[in-house]
Chains A and B, each alone.
Chain A
């Protein structure tokens, strides 16, 4: 099942990158969201997929009885999901503030708007 996942990640990457390269900052954030999801699936798949054997040790045993799913990428991805969440929220609020300050979310208008508004430039 790794092959369909490879194509899924490819599509996620392509859509994410495409959105990040558009003029609207909101679409940039959506692209970021897609990209962080894509990377999670990528790492998960790189550790190989297995069905129905979560990496959990049954009661009464000191180690899993048979082969279980690769726990390492799961731990890494778990961290990545949470960090990705923090990143997205921060970026969203940043975009919100940019809009409130400069009145636009179009990338090519940000520079000129900043020049027009020395007040906004001063803000740290």
Chain B
């Protein structure tokens, strides 16, 4: 299963070359990949039908226990078949829809990469790898929504889709990590097999909410629904594929995948049903405002996704069965409807359903496809969509009946949408369109027609799928053995009555649509409140906020800048250390000779003098004294090499500082006034000093690991024939480090030379600086 995903990624990388080789026919050739994958996934049918779930494990980050575990059961297989099967239709369709577009090679690349990632999502058996594939789908979706990157609206929509879904993805990751912390495993199979540890945890509600946020953003549930209609800026093949049939179902898939764990938990049930119900109402209401065929379809997609979310929330056997039936039915009718809307847009030049009439005369095959898919979408017999709606109604009737109120109302809107997309533009005596209309090319007819006919076939003979695919999928959602059968005609049941009511309402809506739509639009058009407005405020405010914040913490003044950095570093380290109790201020009784104390005292005095000095001469002398004091301490404590180097370097530094000082302005080093600044910096500096002291006291109380030192002492002569261990370390054991050190010195020397040379070649007085250049600095050790 991993190999299928990897092959798909590899194929995606090769897609642009295929375009070059095959030209306009590339779509047909590239469709071989999803078609082949469909066949390959079909080969799993027998074992999945037998109730098996197949696992494949590849180590990925073994030290973190992250594996690339893949798993194939009924639910994964159903999703994989939808992704690969509809992918086949989409790739062929895109070849016709985007014919002649110079960006087509890139389009294929990203579309196929998306497909690979989506297959990864639905077959992952590890939460972390699922997350990685999940984010890959968000990123590929970003590029596909922003395909028309010349348009600012397109770019904004792409960014919005990315921010919303990736933000939700982060919440989901947090949820996954909580699961990993609580159960000690990221394996989905392990979690499904034994969720008791997770269910007993007090963090369970947090886990559920975080994961649900991830699913809600991906599946465009309220209040994150607004990105999906905007994502219609993408080319229609993308809308049909990512934003109706596959990617937006990832959220539903995740919820369904984890449903056996959480079903019955009050937080889960109420979160899913209430958010789903709210989404149904909001999306149905917003659909009434639309005239663009893709926007209409987008809102009806949100309603369908919300219905599935509610079903998963309700839980139980009926709902589990209903979810998988609905999932398949929706994919089979919504993708062709999108493609039909795209064909109409492509041929007639608009998606405004009020501007189109009579297209059925010139686009008969497109119309036939639209009708079959539309009847399924409207939930009318004898299509598969009818069966899906019936079983959904049945599931709600048996569990939480009042949830049917929003659903029946929304069902009416779905019927209206189907009528507006599949009926209204095609009927009428006269052809009405912005330009001359022809039937769509073959590549754009075959995919949607096949999918729509599949919906018809499964409607007439639902038994074809039930035992092999839908029952195993339902079992995966329910988490317990279960079997069911589907029939077109159930007899006179309450569900049928509800369906009749839905149809009646839907026909009424469709009949009065023009007046209703016009009235609603004049009232609500252009209002930017609600979640979309909140997103806009966030997006608009982010950059100014970042700018203001940066101006505040990084002012154009080195002193303030440094004070903030040092202050934050000292405070963060110190407070953490104090809170965790890792810093100790225990003082072991010091043992030392009086001359050692004397030198330490001299060093301390020199440092303080350097800090307080107002005369440059005093500062240099103090620094020199300090350097030599440190060198003497190195002598006392058995480090002759250090002492020697320190003497040399200190001498050089004093000379160089003196040379430079000659050219700098005379006068006091210390600023007058500004007592507050001095006080603040003093407090920060003293805290920093105290912090370092307590750190050192803490460190020196710990036992010392001498393994390395012992190794160097033992190996120095036998391995490197050197008697000075420090030197051997520098030039033998750590020779590369020393090479790096030399390189740093060379770079510094070149830098110094360049700075001074430039000064010699262009000597213009800027301010009071005396322009003279003679000396070069000595470098080297």
Contact = CB atoms under 8 A, between A and B. Distances in A.
Residue of A11, A49, A59, A101 with most partner-chain B CB within 10 A: A11
A103 B767 contact: yes
B768 A21 contact: no
Contact of A28 (B558, B665, B714): B558
Contacts of A117: 766
Interface stretch (B236-244, B573-581, B677-685): B677-685
Contacts of A99: 663-665, 769
Given A71-B712, A83-B745, A96-B660, A4 B600 contact: yes
Given A1-B591, A17-B685, A78 B730 contact: yes
A10 B653 contact: no
Contact of A23 (B559, B642, B725, B749): B559
Given A86-B748, A97-B755, A101-B766, A74 B777 contact: no
Q: Main SS of the interface on chain A?
A: helix
B755 to A, nearest CB: 5
Contacts of A119: 766
Contact of A9 (B556, B692, B712, B713): B692
Interface residues of A, number: 100
A85 B649 contact: yes
Contacts, number: 302
A89 B649 CA distance: 11
A41 to B, nearest CB: 6
B531 to A, nearest CB: 42
A107 B558 contact: yes
B744 A46 contact: no
Interface of B: 556-559, 562-563, 566, 587-588, 590-592, 596-597, 600, 603-604, 607-608, 610-611, 616, 619, 623, 626-627, 630, 633-634, 636-642, 645-646, 649, 652-653, 656-657, 660-661, 663-665, 669-671, 674, 681-682, 684-686, 688-690, 692-693, 696-697, 699-700, 704, 706, 708-709, 712-714, 716-718, 723-726, 729-730, 734, 737-738, 741, 744-745, 748-749, 751-752, 755-756, 758-759, 766-769, 771, 777, 779, 781
B660 A93 contact: yes
A49 B718 contact: no
Contact of A51 (B636, B674, B685, B700): B636
Contacts of B748: 86-87, 89-90
A81 B642 contact: yes
Interface string A55-66: 111110111100
Given A8-B603, A69-B638, A22 B660 contact: no
Given A49-B637, A120-B766, A2 B730 contact: no
A93 B557 CA distance: 20
A2 B777 CA distance: 37
Contacts of B690: 10, 14
Given A34-B623, A82-B645, A85-B653, A8 B558 contact: no
A33 B623 contact: yes
B611 A15 contact: yes
Contacts of A75: 726, 729-730, 734
Contact of A90 (B636, B693, B751): B751
Contact of A55 (B590, B696, B726, B734): B726
Interface in A69-124: 69-72, 74-75, 77-79, 81-90, 92-97, 99-108, 110-111, 113, 117, 119-120, 123
Contacts of B752: 89-90, 93
A2 B686 CA distance: 20
A44 B642 contact: yes
B713 A26 contact: no
B286 to A, nearest CB: 51
Contacts of A103: 766-769
A79 B741 contact: yes
Given A6-B693, A92-B656, A57 B717 contact: yes
A82 B741 contact: yes
Contacts of B597: 4
A13 to B, nearest CB: 5
B745 A74 contact: no
B653 A33 contact: yes
Rank and list the top 4 A-B pairs by shortest CB-CB distance, nearest first.
A103-B767, A14-B689, A10-B693, A18-B685
A124 to B, nearest CB: 9
Given A75-B729, A95-B660, A62 B718 contact: yes
Contacts of B633: 5, 41
21 contacts: A1-B596, A4-B592, A8-B600, A9-B696, A13-B693, A14-B688, A16-B607, A21-B681, A21-B684, A24-B671, A44-B642, A63-B714, A68-B638, A77-B642, A78-B730, A82-B745, A86-B779, A93-B755, A105-B664, A119-B766, A123-B758
A54 B640 contact: yes
A11 to B, nearest CB: 5
Given A46-B700, A111-B557, A20 B767 contact: no
A79 to B, nearest CB: 5
Contacts of A27: 619, 669
B730 to A, nearest CB: 5
B610 A15 contact: yes
B558 A37 contact: no
Nearest to B696: A6
